[in-house]
Structure 1
Amino acid sequence: MRFERVAGRVWVCAGDPDPDLVQAGVALVADERGSVLIDAGQSPSHAREIQAALRQAGLPAPRWLVYTHHHWDHVWGAGAWPDVEIVGHAAGAELLRAEANRPWSIPYLRAEVLRNRRLGPSFRARALAVDSWDELTVLPPTRVFTDALTLPTGVRLRHVGGRHAPDSTVVVVPDSGVILLGDSWYPPPAHLRTPADQPDLALVGRLLDDDIGWYVSSHSPVLSLAEARAALRG
């Protein structure tokens, strides 16, 4: 696990490509005034691996942690990040407050899968990701926004919503020509997906910008502007 520079001050640490592990990548916008971490990792142990990769790359520790959306593989590592302000969309804050009240444990996961078999892949991945349920803390954002927000380092957050998650947020770093898409254009999670659900290419099309050279999704390879346009053309 390591951080690689995308462009300018944006670095990405890719998740595990095995789809059964449901491990999202994270990004860091490095800044001496305080870096911005995009997503927290899928668990406390994953967050610690990300922290080790940060140190190995010589990157500054984050001051802000931004959630691209509330799904577990993006936020369950938050409790392992000390001294950060957690920023996220208001809709995600409400959902995470409910998630925080669930009795997360192996017996609870098993009971939920027996109630709804479609939860099986996601809940098996959670069981694999968490080393100790005693250390898992689901944390809602401590600072919320509704439409857009610019952090003091010039990082811009923009709510885009969509079918994958109602709180989906993209993160734009104008000086580096990078946009971090999270999972915003993906179809709904597997347990909510129908055969008609497809990636939301129209959303990506609306986000294409000649001033943005790089498009970073959480579970997909980084695309240049030219590659993104080619992908939309099919």
Structure 2
Amino acid sequence: MTHHYQQISPHVFIMHAEHETDRPILAAIAGERRTLLMDAGNSPAHAELFRRELKRRGVRMPEILALTHWHWDHTFGMQVWNLPVVAHAETSRALTSLSGLDWSDGCLLDLIRQGTINEESAADIWKEFGGNRDIRIVEPDILFQGRISFDLGGVVCEMIHVGGDHSADSCILHVREDRVLFLGDALGPSVYGGPRKYTSAAFLQLLSVAYGYNAQWYVESHGVPMSGEEFRSDLAGWEKLARIVEAFGHDRERVVHEMKAFLQCDELPKDLLQGLDYFMAGRANMV
């Protein structure tokens, strides 16, 4: 497996996502006085790779860890870092509820049954950790509600709680001087506790928050960093789909018709058809 690292701006260094076991992007934001780590990695092995690379490149080691949300792939590497952890109060609550579990196969099955995780996550945890799962949940040290700022010396990071379908505790991280916006998984559909779904109004609201930063780089945790222009272009179809669902969501055929007219095509692309299913599921949930 090749591991791809990149410095995307003067203060921001990232390790790219890997999809075999759902490893998200990890980022180090290095100021003159402090380095902040965004997300912990999905396992000690994942975290260790990034730690070694930071050391190899002479990047100041992180002194504080900020979590975008509680999901396993962003938090199960925490024990490697041994740092003060900053998280939204809901992130802390979710992690506390997982502490003390033995992570055996029976435990994973129970978590699936409860809707805490899904079968895909359980399979990825299996692949990442193998049969002997020494997973230690670290409970966050510093909790916030709306937003929190970090002055790292020459660069300020702000974490903002945005919520959304993917996870109610989702936060984004804005690196002000570098104009980099880390979105975590905030723009993703819900993945636990039922069918995957999007609420069109919540999605549009989040998009408008993201666009409001007018960032130079937009970084989603399981994607590749995009320029502002690429990001808008990548999400244009989704934004239009969400707007059409807002207007005609009671009538799937009408939504499909309007989207085909907008895209000037005979068949909707596969990703947008899947997106339509998510949005319709989100609508059904509201009724």
Q: What TM-score results when the alignment is normalised by the length of structure 1?
A: 0.89
- The CA distance in 1 between the partners of 2:63 and 2:5, in whole Å, is 18
Distance of 1:196 and 1:162 partners within structure 2: 9
Once the two structures are superposed, residues 75-121 of structure 1 have per-residue CA deviations (whole angstroms, 9 ceiling, x without a partner) of 00001102x210000011111100113221234224555787x8221
2:73 partner amino acid: D
2:169 to 167, 170, 192: 167
Larger relative contact order (C-alpha < 8 A, sep ≥ 6)?
1
Residue 130 of structure 1 is matched in structure 2 by: 129
Aligned to 1:47: 47
Larger CA deviation: 158-167 vs 191-200: 191-200
**Maintained 8 Å contact 1:8/1:175:** no
> Per-residue displacement from partner, 1:129-162 (whole Å, max 9, x unpaired)?
125423x211121101000111132211111011
Partners in 2 of 1:149 and 1:233 — Cα distance? 30
* SS in structure 2 at match of 1:171: strand
Which ranges in structure 1 are unaligned for 5 or more consecutive residues? none
What secondary structure is seen at the aligned counterpart in 2 of 1:192?
coil
Matched residues in 1 for 2:12 and 2:48: separation?
Answer: 20
Code of the aligned partner of 1:50 = F
SS of corresponding position for 1:41? coil
> Which is further off, 73-82 or 52-61?
52-61
Match of 1:4 among 6, 12, 15: 6
| Corresponding letter in the other structure for 1:104 | W
The equivalent of 2:74 in structure 1 is 74
Answer whether contact 2:16 2:24 (CA < 8 A) is retained.
Answer: yes
- Matched with 1:150 is 149
Where structure 2 has 5 or more consecutive residues not aligned to the other structure, the ranges are 238-287
Partner of 1:204: 207
Q: CA offset at residue 230 of structure 1?
A: 1.5
Please state if 1:30 is matched with 2:33: no
SS at match of 2:177: helix
> In 1, are the aligned partners of 2:163 and 2:186 still within 8 Å (CA)?
yes
The partner residue of 1:224 within 188, 206, 227 is: 227
Report the Cα distance in structure 1 between the residues aligned to 2:170 and 2:143, rounded to whole angstroms: 13
How far did residue 197 of structure 1 move?
Answer: 6.2
Higher helix share: 2
Which residue identity lines up with residue 122 of structure 2 in the other structure? Answer: F
| Corresponding residue for residue 85 of structure 1 | 84
Shift of 1:11: 1.3
**Partners of 2:113 and 2:97 in 1: CA distance:** 21
The range that moved more, 61-70 or 23-32, is: 23-32
Deviation at 1:205, TM superposition (A): 2.7
SS of residue in 2 equivalent to 1:93? helix
**Is the CA contact (8 Å cut-off) linking 1:86 and 1:142 kept in structure 2?**
yes
2:40 touches 2:74 (CA, 8 Å); kept in 1? yes
Name the SS for the 1:216 alignment partner: strand
Q: Following the alignment from structure 2 to structure 1, what is the Cα–Cα distance between the partners of residues 195 and 112? A: 16
SS of alignment partner, residue 186 of structure 2: coil
Cα distance change on mapping 1:201 and 1:16 into 2, 3 Å? farther
Check 1:163–1:196 CA distance in 2 against 1; reply closer, same or farther (3 A cut).
closer
Aligned pair count reads 229
Closer/same/farther in 2, CA of residues 194 and 186 from structure 1, 3 Å limit = closer
